[in-house]
Structure 1
Amino acid sequence: MTRNTVRVWSVVHKWTSLISTAFMLMLCITGLPLIFHEEIDEALGTHGVYEAPPLGTPTLSLDTMLANALAAREGEIPLYLSFDEDRPVVNFTTGPTPAATADEMHFAGFDWTSGSALPPFPEGGVMHFILHLHVDMFMGLPGMLFLGFMGLVAFAAIVSGVVLYAPFMRKLDFGVVRVSRSSRVKWLDYHNLMGVVTVAWLSVVTLTGTINTLSTPIIQLWQADQLSEMTAPYKGLPPARAEASIQEAVDTALAAAPGMRVQFVAFPGVAYSTEHHYAVFMQGATPLTKHLLTPALIDARTGELSAIRPMPWYAQALLLSGPLHFGDYGGLPLKILWALLDIATIIVLASGLYLWLSRRRAPATDPVVAQLRDRPVLAPAE
């Protein structure tokens, strides 16, 4: 690699790192508790107290469950229906209209065997604050898209850092930490070592995080593309109400996709459905395929199957990126690994920031200053 080429990569690495580091530090710090959000919610009692019925207890009809949910929310209509994976609980989201905002929606869980309402989920709290800070910095879609751009900038810092690391390490053994040198030299070596160790994980987390920020545009693309194509025969017809049996709609969808289970149902008029259908979203049974959804559109008037088609590749990429981003594929062991790599990334970021800020106070003969002058060593985060 020529000196001019190194200089160009150094400029790229310098500015992409400086631009993204503060935001990446925030994402790493807030992402750490989010990796264990299920365990933290359980410890804090966020899910409420629930004693599961004996195994094999018969469940009620979904029509009965829906009637119970609507009786508790007079004047509202059903928007979504979902199922807990590890307990017989049916969740209903209701609101005043299909276009209800998140603040206007009401979420409630019901025991599928008795029909009784479960204790309400506490609103707000520290995990709610951390989640919103991590997802959109309390700015909605503009905040999400901004963080997505920061993710691309961070990925450019990762690539440029790897390119620059190779010629730098020709003079040293791989992974060496010069413990006998000054603290600045040691931190430089720790920074480079941890950066290389986490580079693959960091690239995956950064790219999946960027994909997650595009969830709204991706769903809108699916609606305008395949969902519109699947419902072409209904174009021009007046909107339908939820007239057909929701239990029969779910049974019809499952019959069309043997071996799958229902993850959630979107009622007519909401974002994930059409004005004429129940959209029954089904998932596979394995840790991987349970994140790959297949929607079946059931006519809300007649209960007949209108269409069934797997989500397109770009929507499937979005569905897979979420659990991969937070390490939700392999249970607690994978979450612990994700947490350790997250902590290592925080150290990479903090040490890079320290090396950059302290370079102005160090003497001109400091070897670290010389290296930073030619090759800033900030690295990005998730």
Structure 2
Amino acid sequence: MELKTAKRWFNWHKWTSLICTIFLLYLCLTGLPLIFHEEIEHLLEDQKEVIARDQQKLDLDHLAKIAESKYPGEKVRYAFWDENDKNKVLFDVVDKPDAPYEKSKYLVLNEYTGEVLGAPKTDGLMGIILKLHTDMFLGIPGKLFLGLMGILFMISIISGIVLYGPIMKKFDFGMVRKNKSKRLKWLDTHNLLGIAITAWMVVVGFTGIINTLSDVILGLWQQGQLAEMTAPYKNQKPLTGNFSSLEEAKKSAENTIKDMKVSVIAFPGTPFTSKHHYAVFMRGNTELTAKLLKPVLIDAKNGKVTDTRDMPWYVNTLFLSEPLHFGNYGGMVLKIIWTVFDVFTILVLITGLYLWIARRKAERQWKPLSKKALS
């Protein structure tokens, strides 16, 4: 590599790394507990045993009324089922369908008995850490800013790979010059750790960038596929209540797609459907397909299925990116691997910051000596 080209790549690596290092350290530190968020939430929340006392689950409309009775004057807008929490349903209750999520009241009910099992602590420790990690409590601007830091991180990785190749032509791969100066030892350690976990950093960095675009992706889906699916209802008056049966909507979706399970039901007027439809989102039964959703739109006036389609590729990319970003695919083994690589990334960032400070210090010391030598 020519000296001029090498210097250009070095400057790209130095400045992109410097700009994003503090924020990447912040993301690595907040990301560590999120790898184990399910296990931590299980320890922090009060767990009530769910016993199926009857063979038949209660009607979903009845369960929704129980949830609404806890907040008079307000209505259910979403129903959620978690594949890991059997025999439970989570309701989101609000005063109006388009209310901000900060206004949501969540209730978990036993599907067999109707017993209220409590509410998830969205403002608890893990909820706070998640907000810090995803948008720094700044909403969409915070997400997009962290996405920009992710792009700089990817540029620093690519430039680091370009620089590392020519260096290793002169030395043994993975060498650490322990008998040389402290700065050289840290430089070799930084290079070795960085190249060893490059693939992981690319995966986590790229999926992190995709996750910061979740609101953009939702907007594209709303204006694209969702608008096409609801186009026949575009000029009709919005439904204002007296919706068809929620239970029947769930059964219709299950009968339409028999090899999938219900994951979420969105009520008319919410961002994930139209003002005329229930949107029943189905998920698969395997480790991979359980991360993907397929919408079934049901006319909330007569309960008939009007359309169902596979999600566009860009939405499926988002669905697959979020669990991969946190290592939530292969159980505890993958989570431990993600933790080890996260710690190594922290070391790479710290050593990189140390090398920059040490280089600056050395330059300040050499400048006066250079002037004396020239005078």
Which bin holds the TM-score, normalised by the shorter protein? Answer: over 0.9
Whether the aligned pair in 1 keeps the contact of 2:52 and 2:112 (CA below 8 Å) is: no
Specify the alignment match of 2:213 in structure 1: 214
**3-state SS of paired residue (1:237):** coil
Whether the aligned pair in 2 keeps the contact of 1:91 and 1:107 (CA below 8 Å) is: yes
1:77 to 75, 78, 94: 75
Specify the alignment match of 1:50 in structure 2: 48
**3-state SS of paired residue (1:181):** coil
Q: Which one has more relative contact order, counting CA pairs under 8 Å at least 6 apart?
A: 1
When normalised by structure 1's length, the TM-score is 0.92
1:299-318 matched pairs, under 5 angstroms: 299-318=299-318
* Aligned-partner Cα distance in 1 for 2:364–2:162: 26
Q: Which amino acid aligns with 1:99?
A: D
TM-superposed CA distance for 1:129, in Å, is 2.0
Structure 2 spans left out of the alignment, 5+ residues: 367-375
* Aligned-partner Cα distance in 2 for 1:54–1:94: 25
* Aligned-partner Cα distance in 1 for 2:242–2:155: 48
TM-superposed CA distance for 1:126, in Å, is 2.6
Specify the alignment match of 2:245 in structure 1: 245
TM-superposed CA distance for 1:128, in Å, is 2.2
Q: Percent identity?
A: 47
Q: Which amino acid aligns with 2:332?
A: L
Whether the aligned pair in 2 keeps the contact of 1:292 and 1:316 (CA below 8 Å) is: yes
* Aligned-partner Cα distance in 1 for 2:350–2:242: 54
Whether the aligned pair in 2 keeps the contact of 1:242 and 1:267 (CA below 8 Å) is: no
For these two proteins, the number of residue pairs brought into alignment is 364
Specify the alignment match of 1:371 in structure 2: none
**3-state SS of paired residue (1:354):** helix
Specify the alignment match of 1:36 in structure 2: 36
- Deviation string for 1:132-183 (max 9, x for gaps)? 1111111111000111111111101110110011011111111112222232
**3-state SS of paired residue (1:360):** helix
Specify the alignment match of 1:376 in structure 2: none
Q: Which amino acid aligns with 1:246?
A: L
TM-superposed CA distance for 1:362, in Å, is 3.3
* Aligned-partner Cα distance in 1 for 2:242–2:354: 59
**3-state SS of paired residue (2:321):** helix
1:87-166 matched pairs, under 5 angstroms: 87-166=86-165
When normalised by structure 2's length, the TM-score is 0.94
* Aligned-partner Cα distance in 2 for 1:364–1:230: 65
- Deviation string for 1:328-363 (max 9, x for gaps)? 010111000000000000000000001111123337
**3-state SS of paired residue (1:238):** coil
* Aligned-partner Cα distance in 2 for 1:121–1:322: 20
Structure 1 spans left out of the alignment, 5+ residues: 367-382
Specify the alignment match of 1:67 in structure 2: 65
1:167-246 matched pairs, under 5 angstroms: 167-240=166-239, 241=241, 243-246=243-246
Specify the alignment match of 1:331 in structure 2: 331
Whether the aligned pair in 2 keeps the contact of 1:49 and 1:119 (CA below 8 Å) is: no
Q: Which amino acid aligns with 2:125?
A: V
* Aligned-partner Cα distance in 2 for 1:196–1:28: 18
TM-superposed CA distance for 1:281, in Å, is 0.3
Instruction: Report which stretch shifted further, 271-280 or 84-93.
Output: 84-93
**In the alignment, structure 1 residue 294 sits paired with structure 2 residue 294:** yes
Specify the alignment match of 2:346 in structure 1: 346
Specify the alignment match of 2:373 in structure 1: none
CA distance 1:334–1:57, change in 2 (3 Å) = farther
Whether the aligned pair in 2 keeps the contact of 1:264 and 1:282 (CA below 8 Å) is: yes
- Deviation string for 1:231-279 (max 9, x for gaps)? 1110111111351111111111111111100111110000111100000
TM-superposed CA distance for 1:94, in Å, is 1.1
* Aligned-partner Cα distance in 2 for 1:340–1:55: 44
Whether the aligned pair in 2 keeps the contact of 1:35 and 1:327 (CA below 8 Å) is: yes
CA distance 1:64–1:305, change in 2 (3 Å) = same
CA distance 1:363–1:122, change in 2 (3 Å) = closer
Q: Which amino acid aligns with 1:73?
A: Y
- Deviation string for 1:39-65 (max 9, x for gaps)? 111122x2x221121598432111111
* Aligned-partner Cα distance in 2 for 1:337–1:321: 17
RMSD (Å) for aligned C-alpha atoms: 1.7
* Aligned-partner Cα distance in 2 for 1:84–1:14: 44
Specify the alignment match of 1:271 in structure 2: 271
Instruction: Report which stretch shifted further, 50-59 or 205-214.
Output: 50-59
**3-state SS of paired residue (2:26):** helix
Q: Which amino acid aligns with 2:68?
A: L
Q: Which amino acid aligns with 1:358?
A: A
Q: Which amino acid aligns with 2:180?
A: R
TM-superposed CA distance for 1:103, in Å, is 1.6
